[in-house]
Amino acid sequence: MATIGAPLLQTKEGSPRGPLERREERLAWLMLLPVVLALLALGVYPVLSTLWFSFQQGGSFGLGTTSAGLANYLRLLHDDQFWSALRFSLLYSLVTVCGQMICGTALALFANRRFRGRWLARAAILFPWAIPTATNSVIWAYMFNDQYGLVNSLLEHLGLMNPAHPIVWLGSAQLATLLIYVLAIWKANSLVALLVLAGLQGIPEEVYEAARVDGASRWQILWRVTLPLLRPVLLVTLILRTIESLQAFDLISAFTNGGPGNATQNLGLYIYLQIQQFGDFGYGSTIAVVLTAITLVFIVLYMRTLLRTGTR
Amino acid sequence: MVINDDAPQMQPVRSEMGPAAGSAFRLEAEPNPASSPRLTRRRVLSQGVKASLGVTVLGSWLAACGGAPASTSGPVTIQFAALVDTTGEQTAEIKRFNDLHAGKIHVDYVELPSVATDQYSKFVNAFRAQSPTPDVVQIDVTWPAQFATPGWLAPIDQYVTSSYLNQFWPSARTVGRVNGHLYGIQRYMDIGMLYYRTDLVEKYGGSVPQTREEMQALAERILAGESSHGVSYGYLMPGKKIEAIVDEWLEFLWGAGGSIGEPGKLQVNGPLQVDALQYMHDLIYKFRLAPTGTSTYVPNDILALFSQGKAPFMRNWVFAYAIANTPSRSKVAGKVGVAPTLATSGHSGHGCTGGWVLAINANSQYKDAAWTFIDYMLSKETQTSMALNAGLIPSRPDVVSDASVQAKVPYFKQIGSILNSGQNRPTLKNYNQFTTPLQAAINSVLSNQASPSAALSSVQTQVASLT
Amino acid sequence: MALAPTTTAPATESSRQAARPRGPLLKLKPLTRQTLLYLVLAVIIVVQFLPLIWALLTSLMTPQETTAVPVPLWPAHPTVSSYSEALQGDIGRYYLNSIIASLVSTLVTMFLATLAAYAFARLRFRWKRLILLFVVSLSLFPPFSQVIPLYMVLQSLHLIGSLLALIIPYSVFGLPMAILILMAFLQEVPFEYEEAAALDGLSRLGAFVRIVLPMIIPGLFTTAVIVFVGDWNEYLFALNYTTTATYTLPVGIVILSQTEFTTNFGVLSAAMVMSVVPLVALILLLERRIVSGLTAGGLKG
């Protein structure tokens, strides 16, 4: 079985020997060439420019900068706003990705059942994620407005809130952070659900049959059969959600703009501020590079975990 | 873009320019409905694949359909980029100009999203890439210094005489002056004002409050007497982490006789500065005149409250006046007056000025045509039309004081003196580095998470030496 | 959570598509179980749809109602003025731009990504990990640091302001994500199928196109949907590389609903409803028609 092709991370590298292998290699390169060329043409320059700017300082919007050596990186060490944004980003990523993975998988398992009205469940999965993120955040901010928001109006109608003392949802750091978590989980559990659902559809029915014949309970089937088979999909979902959660911007900027104070400012907002508003390409790019490195660490960790558990 | 079965059709918008004018070429939908887009999957795919293959294919494709440089005899087309105007007045003004200069100059209106930071990004991108378009830009009053310092705006000294300039409000003609050159003239004015309910102020016997204490006393009386009639708050102000809260803080500071000093030695944590912020905090948490949700409000939010009769006083920009006085959108229409912002006793209120400035892209190839357009936009006729149809305040006093205009826009009678007492924000090439930390500091005080002195002191070192 | 209901029949297509839950494994009575299922469905629908429902209601309110304190839970005088206001604006053009930009880029991305994903997931070649790392790492850089450098590239190609200024970046920047997702779906396909195909005399490419691709059609469709919606909702590039003629829906919604100081929640909601509802409906429709049809065909063949 492993002769034709094994899962990616178990593949032995090194130069192939026979003519068959050489043909395989040629085919691989042919299939990869367009992607590699496209990325070289468009993707590489912005990345190199970001790396280069992280060693530059001064100037305005990247014009007239001078060499900075490691000054930008050293500046990070004493920048309280960077550290608080980093802390927010990491916590945000941890909480929301976990939430999305759990809620999304549960949603997918539910929507994979066969029942009348299942299309409603599928629509429910698609919907939150189909709204443009920024528009969505404006709607949420509207819903949580303390004066004319839906949520306070509902609470008032239910007699749960005194209209003279409306709940100021976005006025305190704790509540605002909590709401951002909820919003982020709500917005992107769709993506997890979609991917998991497609993964579930790829699992042949025979596998479940076999498990049932062996007398496995539903719970056992979920943990011993379904989830292990979903591992590749779950891993890639985890990776994608991690990347996006660490880069989050639209969602927070249109919701709280980082407020109150700087309590909900994440690295995405801070980079935006430095680059697009202050024109400080040097420092903004430095933070971008650090964020990229952090993301890379996460991804390598996830992949390692897969590699270990993958080779049973 | 249209993907036909024929070659893609591109229309050179600036026909007299060669293919070098990159941003000038736009792939536009063919206006003729007969040749409406025919999208076949195969076609789209093949074009798309071609498009992604890289620079060479793309380049040749574009060269093929971009067309040879067209004749140079046609009209000069200039692009005017300004935020979207829902009243339609801006489009009408441009159309009149185009009719007036038919065959010579054609103005293309590039409407921009109204979010200021979005516009800022778009302008920076174009300027930084030395794009020749847009030719004429409408920019916020805090941007001329930011854009002129790196050489992105063209000086307009040669077009204006001092007598020409004297037609405008003082702040409108100085706002574009950077390092001894003039880079723009303001098109319309904005200013922070105190909005008040004329009926309630009259009923509770007061004159229009000029000082913080007068406002407080009157607001408390009104609140006590009118709470059964839906008045729940005394004073409304924006408090979200946006530019407006810096302006509002500056107004409280200026109204107490303070200032933040000159660029290069700015001071934001002096006693008067701290006192102004403390007062904003006290309005919410001590006097309980402003709602506890203030720290989350944008100007639109407090206008909604004011329009429903929830409060007798509000600090807001000029836009609120028209809406608050429109019966279909406001319960207090006809009962809204405006006055200078609050002061402390012995001082007078100074509203923070805002508004939008017309300027020319330094890389524009049609600076003369661009100036012709700006001159038209600043003319008495156009500004009168703008005041009447878009509800904006002209930068020309002669329009504001015009009796026929005042007959239709009554508050122009007061706006003259309010504008004359207005003050500009500091002219800084790094204005964003000044305002952003201040916004966060002020917002954290208004949301009761930091003390005014601590918040402002933390900002002081960041902004002190900005120029 | 629950698993797919059990069926004793072999896993044929007909039983896969059957909407009859038959479950001997259940401890609950069927009726209770049904009730529970629909209770869960109701909760999911309320949670997931709440903002849409609220946007629908808001879009039917008068401007005054949308910011009334407290806001009414139901429009007292339903009006479609928000919709006509949105339609009077250029929402049709934003729509067309969004459709063209997203559709073309999705097709390009999917075509290129499927080829690459197969190579990564199934073929052996030198420097595989290095190349994969290269592809993935390009997606790790925060987009803000790339907006201006990319602007310079597009400007030098004279593309700023054209839809190609969106199509090209979307097509390319969607690649890493699409490749990763497709690799995951490809890894689910057992190798035995290709071994069998090889014994039948099919080439690697032939086996890929005729055996493997049909097996991952749900995955392909899902990936395409994810890529498409991602492009559809993209804001940063759509803001910076476009002009009046090429604004897409996310930027258009801002233009339609916001002025310098005001937000018209009615128009915002109407524009959002008009943006989202057809999109979701279309995806569901396609999913039914294409995916189930092709999957059935693929498995039979």
> Could you write out the DSSP letters of every residue in C169-195?
HHHHHTHHHHHHHHHHHHHHS-THHHH
Chain C residue numbers with beta carbons less than 8 Å from the beta carbon of A203 are 188
d(CA B452, CA B459): 11
- The full DSSP string for B171-231 is HHHHTTEETTEE-EEEEEEEE-EEEEEHHHHHHTTPPPP-BHHHHHHHHHHHHHHHGGGT-
In chain A, what residues touch C25 (CB-CB under 8 Å)? 212, 218
Q: Phi/psi of residue A33, each to 5°?
A: -50, -50
**Pairing assessment for the beta strands A66-67 and A56-57 based on DSSP bridges:** antiparallel
Structure tokens at C277: 């509802």
C-alpha B317 chain-centroid distance: 10
Q: Distance between CA C231 and CA B254 in Å, rounded?
A: 48
Q: Delimit the domains of chain B by residue range.
A: 11-66, 76-182+354-420, 219-351+428-463
pLDDT in tens, C116-163: 999 998 888 888 888 988 898 888 888 888 888 899 999 999 999 899
User: What is the rounded average pLDDT of the residues C4-20?
Assistant: 40
Sign of CA dihedral C141, C143, C145, C151: positive
Task: State the pLDDT at residue B73.
Answer: 56
Q: Is residue A64 part of a domain?
A: yes
**Contact status of B3 with chain C (Cβ, < 8 Å):** yes
What does the pLDDT average to over B356-377?
Answer: 96
Which of A305, A298, A191 lies closest to A237, judged by CA?
A191
- The minimum CA-CA distance between C252 and chain B, rounded to whole Å, is 8
**What's the Rg (C-alpha) of chain B?**
25
Torsion of CA B276, B278, B279, B280, to 10 degrees: 90
How does residue C29 score in pLDDT terms, banded at 50, 70 and 90? low
Amino acid at A46: P
CATH architecture of B76-182+354-420: 3-Layer(aba) Sandwich (3.40)
pLDDT at C76 over 60: yes
Q: Which of A277, A280, A283 best tests the B interface by mutation, with the highest count of B CBs <10 A?
A: A277
C241: contact with A, CB 8 A cutoff? no
Tell me: the pLDDT tens digits for B11-64? Answer: 333 333 333 333 333 333 333 333 334 434 444 334 433 333 333 334 433 333
Q: How far is CA B453 from the centre of its chain?
A: 30
Residue A211 included in any domain: no
> For residue C292, what pLDDT is reported?
60
Percent with pLDDT over 70 in chain B: 84
Name residue, tokens 């990070």: A76
8 A C-beta contact, residue A150 and residue A214? no
Give the domain extent around A195. 60-203+229-310
Nearest to A181 by CA among A264, A92, A86: A92
Contacts of B291 (CB under 8 A, 6+ apart): A146, A147, A166, B232, B233, B236, B284, B297, B305
* pLDDT, position B410: 87
B151: left (phi over 0), alpha (psi -120 to 50) or beta: left
CB C71 within 8 A of CB A148: yes
Size of interface B-C (CB pairs under 8 A): 154
Is this complex's ipTM strictly greater than 0.90?
A: no
Q: How many CB atoms are located within 10 Å of the residue A117 CB?
A: 11
> Cβ contact (<8 Å) for A35 and C113?
yes
For residue B200, give both structure tokens: 């309630």
Please give the residue of chain C at the shortest CA–CA distance from A114: C19
pLDDT band for C69, please (50, 70, 90 cuts). Answer: confident
Cα distance from N-terminal residue to C-terminal residue, chain A: 15
Q: H helices of B256-377, where? A: 271-285, 299-307, 319-324, 367-377
* C217-232 vs C265-286: helix crossing angle, rounded to 10: 160
| Most confident residue range from A218-232, B177-191, C32-46 | B177-191
CB A16 within 8 A of CB C125: yes
C-beta of residue B238 within 8 angstroms of C-beta of residue B248:
yes
Contacts of B58 in chain C (CB under 8 A): 157, 159, 164, 168
Cα dist from B292 to A138, A147, B233, whole Å? 21, 10, 10
- What is the average pLDDT across C61-86? 90
Q: Do C104 and B26 touch (CB under 8 A)?
A: no
State whether A278 and B52 contact (CB < 8 Å). Answer: no
Contact (Cβ atoms closer than 8 angstroms) between residue B276 and residue B249: yes
Compute the distance between CA of residue A200 and CA of residue B37 in angstroms, rounded to an integer: 39
Q: DSSP characters for A170-204?
A: TSSHHHHHHHHHHHHHHHHHHHHHHHHHHHHHTS-
- Continuous segment of H or E residues that includes residue A307: helix A281-310
- Give me the mean pLDDT over the C246-268 stretch: 92
Q: Which chains touch B (3 or more CB pairs under 8 A)?
A: A, C
Question: Of A302, A53, A296, A264, which Cα lies nearest the Cα of A178?
Answer: A264
The full DSSP string for B21-84 is -GGGEE----S-GGG-----HHHHHHHHHHHHT-HHHHHHHHHHHH-S---S-S-EEEEEEEE-
Nearest to A282 by CA among A43, A63, A14, A102: A63
Tokens of B410: 């009554």
Query: For B150, which of A63, A145, A169 is closest by C-beta distance?
Result: A63
C31 touches chain A (CB under 8 A): no
Q: Where are the alpha helices (DSSP H) in A70-79?
A: 71-77
Backbone dihedral angles phi then psi of residue B239, each to the nearest 5 degrees: -145, -5
Residues 6+ apart with CB under 8 A from C285: none
pLDDT digits (tens, 9 = 90+) for C13-27: 444 444 444 444 445
Please identify which residue in the block is written with the tokens 């305040």: B393
CA atoms within 13 A on the CB side of B110: 27
By C-alpha distance, the chain B residue nearest C173 is B52
pLDDT at B122 over 50: yes
pLDDT of B131 higher than 60: yes
DSSP string across B389-443: HH-PEES-HHHHT-HHHHHHSTTHHHHHHHHHT-BPPP--TTHHHHHHHHHHHHH
Average pLDDT over residues B231-243: 95
* A38 contacts C52? CB cut-off 8 A: no
pLDDT grade for C229, boundaries at 50, 70 and 90: very high
**B412 and B405 Cβ atoms separated by less than 8 Å:** yes
How many residues in total does chain A contain? Answer: 312
CB-CB contact of B192 with B341 (8 Å)? yes
Band (pLDDT 50/70/90 cuts) for residue C28 is low
Q: Looking at residues B310-327, what average pLDDT do you find?
A: 94
* C62 SS3 class: coil
Q: Which residues of B touch C251 (CB under 8 A)?
A: 113
**Radius of gyration over every alpha carbon of chain A, rounded to an integer in angstroms:** 24
CA B198 to chain CA centroid, nearest Å: 28
Burial of A162 (0-12, 13-18, 19+ CB in 10 A): exposed
CA-nearest residue to B431 within chain A is A278
| Mean pLDDT along residues B250-278 | 95
* Structure-token pair, residue B422: 């207005």
**pLDDT tens figures, B397-412:** 999 999 999 999 888 9
Instruction: Kindly determine whether residue A257 and residue B305, on different chains, have CB atoms separated by under 8 Å.
Output: no
Q: What is the CATH number of the domain that holds A79?
A: 1.10.3720.10
* Percent of chain C clearing pLDDT 90 (strictly above): 44
- Taking the C-alpha atoms of residue B311 and residue B294, their distance in angstroms, rounded to an integer, is 13
- Choose among B308, B359, B366, B431: nearest CA to B172: B359
Residue A16 lies inside a defined structural domain of this protein: no
What distance in Å separates the CA atoms of residue C65 and residue A25, rounded to the nearest whole number?
A: 66
Residues 73-102 of B with CB under 8 A from C: 83-86
Chains touching C (3+ CB pairs < 8 Å):
A, B
* In-domain check, residue A87: yes
Residue B69 has pLDDT above 70, yes or no: no
The pLDDT assigned to A64 comes to 87
Residue A220 lies in a domain: no
- List helix spans (H) across C123-216: 128-137, 144-156, 164-173, 175-188, 192-199, 204-207, 213-215
Whether A69 maps to a domain, the answer reads: yes
How many angstroms separate the CA atoms of A274 and A279, rounded? 6
Contact B191, B254 (CB under 8 A): no
Residue numbers of chain A with a pLDDT score lower than 70: 1-17, 306-312
Mutation target among B233, B296, B438 for the A interface, most CBs of A within 10 A: B296
> Exposed, middle or buried: residue A297 (CB in 10 Å: 0-12, 13-18, 19+)?
exposed
Q: Which residues of C touch A270 (CB under 8 A)?
A: none
Residue B150: list chain A partners with CB under 8 A.
60-61, 63
Domain B219-351+428-463 has CATH 3.40.190.10: yes
Q: How far apart are CA C184 and CA A230, in angstroms?
A: 9
Domains of chain C (ranges, CATH numbers):
28-83 (no CATH), 90-257 (1.10.3720.10)
Contact state of C107 with B66 under an 8 Å Cβ cutoff: no
Question: Helix (H, G, I), strand (E, B), or coil: what is residue B329?
Answer: coil
Q: Which amino acid is at C201?
A: G
CA distance A25 to A39: 20
From the CA of C189, how many Å to the nearest CA of chain A?
8
Mean pLDDT of chain C: 84
Number of structural domains in chain A? 1
- Which of C50, C140, C291, C295 to probe the A interface (max A CBs under 10 A)? C140
Pairwise CB contact (< 8 Å): A146 & B117: no
